[in-house]
A and B are shown apart, each in its own frame.
Chain A
Amino acid sequence: GESVGLHLPTLSVQEGDNSIINCAYSNSASDYFIWYKQESGKGPQFIIDIRSNMDKRQGQRVTVLLNKTVKHLSLQIAATQPGDSAVYFCAFTTSGTYKYIFGTGTRLKVLA
């Protein structure tokens, strides 16, 4: 299918290495954050989420870190695999609004 994110920032990592993808947000009232993965020709797929009362949450091979002081969110992927190649978006919202704002996205390329 047609590629998503031809002009997005790109992170290239070797297979097996760890990846770190970053996201900044501006609204200090944001209290719920989600990372999505979007493969070519598909809709965004949920990876992991975190609420503002936490600063770290771990899933299978993924960790999300939240720094509310500097309004920064990161996604760490351990032992990156070829199947991790995709565009990654952060999204954030404020409770009660259900309005989700998406970041600009980062394209992850996994090199064999």
Chain B
Amino acid sequence: EAGVAQSPRYKIIEKRQSVAFWCNPISGHATLYWYQQILGQGPKLLIQFQNNGVVDDSQLPKDRFSAERLKGVDSTLKIQPAKLEDSAVYLCASSWGSGANVLTFGAGSRLTVL
């Protein structure tokens, strides 16, 4: 089966600019996650979707980050305006969602903010 697809793989922007990341989960996976991984740290959950509804966005900096999952399939994560501390890898993951299941991750999108 195809894995979790993410794009772009790399993005370099100036601070205060905007950026968007795209994720296509594994077909049939109801739950989709966006994680932020700063160099040297474990992934930190930003937002969790169940189908097209938000389950948890308590750690999403809503003044600058937004995410949507229209039609319950693919998702976009946007940052506007970006700050230097947003430099990180943004990982998308998906799972079946019914009960505790393995998360399958994409390769990630590496953001550098200058």
Chain A interface residues toward B at CB < 8 A: 2, 4-8, 31-32, 34, 36, 41-46, 49, 51, 89, 91, 93-95, 97-105
Contact = CB atoms under 8 A, between A and B. Distances in A.
B50 to A, nearest CB: 7
Contact of A89 (B42, B48, B108): B42
Interface residues of B, number: 31
Contact of A44 (B40, B91, B110): B91
Contacts of A51: 100
Given A51-B100, A98-B100, A6 B50 contact: no
A2 B111 CA distance: 12
B75 interface: no
B42 A98 contact: no
Contacts of B106: 43
A101 B88 CA distance: 18
B43 interface: yes
